Chains A and B, each alone.
Chain A
Amino acid sequence: MMRFFNVARGVAWRSIHNTLVNPAILVPSIIFPLFFLIAFAGGLSRIADIPNFHYRPGYTAFQFVFVFLQSAAFGGVFTGFAIARDFDSGFARRLLLSAPRRSGIIAGYTVGALLRWALTGTVVTVAALIAGMNVYGSGIDLVALIALGVIVNLVSALWACGVAMFLRTEQAGALIQMPVFVLLFLAPVYVPLPLLTGWIHSIANINPATAVLEAGRGLLAGSPVKVGLAFLGLAGGAFVLAAFARRGLASAERAG
């Protein structure tokens, strides 16, 4: 077990170190969520005026939850890019040779993703508060909201890790990113679910990201909804994608 933790710690440290010392990696992961927050909360705030739009904390808070969870998901995605880059550069193969417990590699990358998101999530939250976001949730609600973000980050990192380890090339970037992007944007991003119409309403209804988003918004507003469903769905996703990432690692091991 000690060897597992040693590998995980080493990979996580390298992951966060590379992020912090390389502006080309760090800046986009912070800028993108901020820019989404500005564009959505600032540019689209008039949408809160449409009939039957009821979200007590206001449109900035409504969009903050999406951007917060999106930044968590993209923290995982960006880690997938780093894994793919490690395979392209040959580092990952050396890592596979030297690690005494290889499953620690997955754990290390996911912890790296979490640390990376801790930074981004903090910046986004501070920006939203500076922009005047209202927070009506209690301390427990806010802890639950952060926990949602942590598990979203984990699920996304496991997905990205699996794809990157199966394909082992930076060209996997689009495949890592697109499903996450599409899944998130097929949830009720701009207006609550009841205000959506047509095909997007049907898809958002069955999209697991919808429950997570609604739970997050409910927690921030101090009136939790679908929280159990969101955590249950995320736990299931983490379980399945952990197996997927483990198979990706096995595939990379076989490839040598």
Chain B
Amino acid sequence: MAVEAATLPSGGGAVSHGTGLVEQTLAVARRAVVRTARQRGLLVFPMLFPLILFAINGSALSPATRIPHFPTRHYRDFLIAMTFVQGAMFVSITAGVDLARDIESGFLNRLALTPLRTQALLIGQLGGALVLGCVQAVAYLLVGLATGVTLVSGVGGAFVLLGLSILIAFAFASLGGFLALRFGTGEAVQGIFPLLFVTLFLSSSSLPRNLIKTTWFRDVATYNPMSYLIESLRSLVIKGWDFQALALGFGFSLVLLVITLGLSEAAMRTRLARR
């Protein structure tokens, strides 16, 4: 097994303590990627669902562009950012459920008997979700371009869009990982998903904040970091280079990543009884 190979010396026998963090991470990540790739049936729905919503809402809500001061004439341009964030949320579930399965099956406990470092185990486990996040981001961008979405920020903006959406996906994946480590079951991870979805809809996902009429909803959207993740991606599509929006987007996703990775590491140590 790849993971065992990374933790054992080439000649077999005693466990190596010299294997680097990077090799260990890659070994765990390779397994996570292969496992994710093998679950094609389970991957199709999370990948397609945001696209279905994009197709339906992109047309059904297009009359919204007739609201005075709406920032673009094409609602799809406005909506595409939500597709990326929604995809990232599904990534969090995939990551969490996969990790929870390893916990439930005892695989994580067996790994605990090896000299694998906690960080390698954690980041490696999220590798499959990260690859899924990359594939999704590229797919959503291509579908968006194919359906007439134009990026005001140009080709450079497309690369930033991909980079930011992958970062957001990784941050959500580590959130899923934390939930799995904290609760230990896939059911619990899936049970949290509606709450994530609520935060997405209580944001500026469907209308710009300044055009939200209901005051309490606008306030919630303003205090909801999800709004800034969406707005940063959206800015690249409809505004061009809005550095404030980008800074907020990168900032919030990095903060989410750092917090969830930190919490995950602590939860992993607790679960593996390495305190």
Contacts and interface: CB of A to CB of B under 8 A. Distances in A.
Contact of A24 (B66, B187, B197): B187
Contact of A43 (B66, B67, B202): B202
B66 A50 contact: yes
B56 interface: yes
Interface stretch (B27-35, B138-146, B205-213, B228-236): B205-213
A200 interface: yes
A45 B64 contact: no
A28 B197 CA distance: 12
Contact of A197 (B62, B187, B217): B62
Given A39-B202, A43-B212, A44-B207, A185 B217 contact: no
A45 B214 contact: yes
A236 interface: no
A185 B49 CA distance: 13
B194 A43 contact: no
Given A31-B194, A46-B207, A174-B45, A185 B60 contact: yes
B266 to A, nearest CB: 26
B60 A189 contact: yes
A47 B57 CA distance: 13
B1 interface: no
A196 interface: yes
Nearest to B202: A39
B201 A46 contact: no
A228 interface: no
Contacts of B211: 46
A175 to B, nearest CB: 10
B34 to A, nearest CB: 21
Majority DSSP secondary structure for residues of A touching B: helix
A50 B198 contact: no
B160 interface: no
B11 interface: no
Interface string A184-220: 0110111100011111100000000000000000000
A223 B211 CA distance: 30
Interface in B52-67: 52-53, 56-57, 59-64, 66-67
Contacts of A28: 191, 194
Given A200-B56, A200-B59, A47 B64 contact: yes
A31 B187 CA distance: 17
Interface string A26-60: 00100110011011001111110111010000000
A120 to B, nearest CB: 14
Contacts of A189: 60
A49 B152 CA distance: 28
Given A35-B198, A49-B67, A42 B216 contact: yes
A84 B56 CA distance: 28
Given A42-B216, A50-B66, A35 B206 contact: no
A182 interface: yes
A190 B60 contact: yes
B206 A43 contact: yes
A38 B45 CA distance: 25
Contacts of B202: 38-39, 43
Interface in A208-253: none
A198 B198 CA distance: 29
A198 B57 CA distance: 12
Given A28-B194, A35-B198, A39-B201, A50 B64 contact: yes
A198 B61 CA distance: 12
A231 B221 CA distance: 39
A189 B206 CA distance: 14
Interface string B40-55: 0100010000001100
28 contacts: A24-B191, A28-B191, A28-B194, A32-B194, A39-B201, A39-B206, A42-B214, A43-B206, A43-B207, A43-B214, A43-B217, A44-B61, A44-B206, A44-B207, A45-B213, A46-B64, A46-B213, A51-B66, A171-B41, A174-B45, A182-B52, A182-B56, A185-B57, A189-B60, A195-B63, A196-B59, A197-B62, A199-B59
Interface of A: 24, 28, 31-32, 35-36, 38-39, 42-47, 49-51, 53, 171, 174, 178, 182, 185-186, 188-191, 195-200
Q: Lowest 3 CB-CB distances: which A-B pairs, in order?
A: A200-B59, A39-B201, A42-B217
